[in-house]
Amino acid sequence: MIVAIGGSDPSGGAGIQADIKTITVFGGYAAAVITALTAQNTLGIAGVMAIDPSFVGQQLELVLTDLPVAAIKIGMLHNAAIVREVAAVLESLAFGIPIILDPVLVSSSGTQLLDNAGIRALCQLLLPQAALVTPNLPEARLLTGLDIQSVDDFGHACDHLLAGGAAAVLIKGGHLEGDTVVDYLRTGEGLEYYHRAPKLVSQSTHGTGCTLASAIATLVGEGRTLADAVSQGHSFVHQAILEAHPMGKGIGPLNHLCQLVR
């Protein structure tokens, strides 16, 4: 069973909705802890309503004390109080459970989804608990304060996050110019892995980060190695974009059922 912690997306493309779809497609049982409600569609986010931190903590505590959790995926947390609450519950009840931290800091449309105090709290309290943190390029810049401009800078950024306590870091390079997307995985134990794939020109990329992190969490939860989980997660996201059906007036969702519909 995989626990997804994050915000709700009523358009179904990202957040908890994407998490549940992905975990289910990979054969996992998805539990969901909601941190915030959003008003959004393919054109962007119009509003965010945070859930009371103590209620977020109550959701998480009840799941962890009752169900056989194999892995935890963390997405949008929205503010420092929620970060602190989630970190405290995980520290108390999730010892030994791999945590995949997708640091949802800013939406693709530019809306800040975790305040500055929340970013500091995430680095101090959640990063040291993470088996893997999966920032995209803008998120990696915010978390490290480094001017990351090319693949050559990825190693330095990973070292910074590893020094902050994460067991492994996956930097996603989709925001870089060029025809090839390069993602870079580094672990504190010295594993280094590059994933390269052709950059897809598509309007169906909403929720890629949520989807990738949930796929990795599910695969790690069933005992796959981190490198294997990252590789399979990438392949799934790539195929889900290729087989997506155009939806909405903006950036539409992936086809999370691409592996089932043949």
* Exposed / middle / buried, residue 203 (Cβ in 10 Å: 0-12, 13-18, 19+): middle
The pTM of this model reads: 0.96
Q: Which domain holds residue 28?
A: 2-242
| Residue 66 within a domain | yes
Task: Determine, yes or no, domain membership for 247.
Answer: no
Of 12, 42, 123, 172, which residue is the catalytic one? 172
pLDDT of residue 181: 85
240 beta partners:
none
Catalytic residue among 38, 208, 211, 218: 208
Clarify whether 24 is annotated catalytic.
no
- According to the model, what pLDDT value does residue 172 have? 93
| 3-state secondary structure labels for all residues of 48-107 | EEECCHHHHHHHHHHHHCCCCCCEEEECCCECHHHHHHHHHHHHHHCCCCCEEECCCCEC
Choosing from 12, 28, 118, 210, the catalytic residue is 210
φ, ψ of residue 208 to 5 degrees: the values are -65, -40
Q: Kindly state the DSSP code that residue 126 receives in the 8-state scheme.
A: I
Task: For residue 207, indicate whether it is catalytic.
Answer: yes
What per-residue confidence (pLDDT) applies to 260? 66
pLDDT at 141: 93
Q: What pLDDT is stored for residue 109 in this prediction?
A: 66
Tell me if 219 is assigned to some domain: yes
Q: Total domain count for the chain?
A: 1
- CA nearest 9: which of 30, 32, 36, 31? 36
Please identify which of the residues 144, 187, 205, 218 carries the catalytic annotation: 205
262 assigned to some structural domain: no
In a domain, residue 105? The reply is yes
Give the whole-angstrom CA distance, residue 44 versus residue 57. 28
Residue 250 lies in a domain: no
- Tokens standing for 231? 């590789």
Please indicate whether residue 205 is annotated as part of the active site.
Answer: yes
Measuring CA to CA, how many Å separate 221 from each of 16, 29, 31, 236, 259?
A: 18, 11, 13, 17, 19
What is residue 259's predicted lDDT score, i.e. its pLDDT?
75
Low-confidence ranges of the chain (pLDDT < 70): 109-110, 175, 260-262
Asked if 169 and 159 touch (Cβ cutoff 8 Å), the reply is no
Q: What is the rounded distance in angstroms from the CA atom of residue 77 to the CA atom of residue 61?
A: 16
Q: How far is residue 17 from each of residues 146, 163, 238, measured CA to CA in Å? A: 32, 32, 19
Q: Looking at the domain assignment, is residue 131 inside a domain?
A: yes
210 counts as catalytic:
yes
pLDDT score, position 262: 35
| 196 in any annotated domain | yes
> The domain spanning residue 211 has which CATH number?
3.40.1190.20
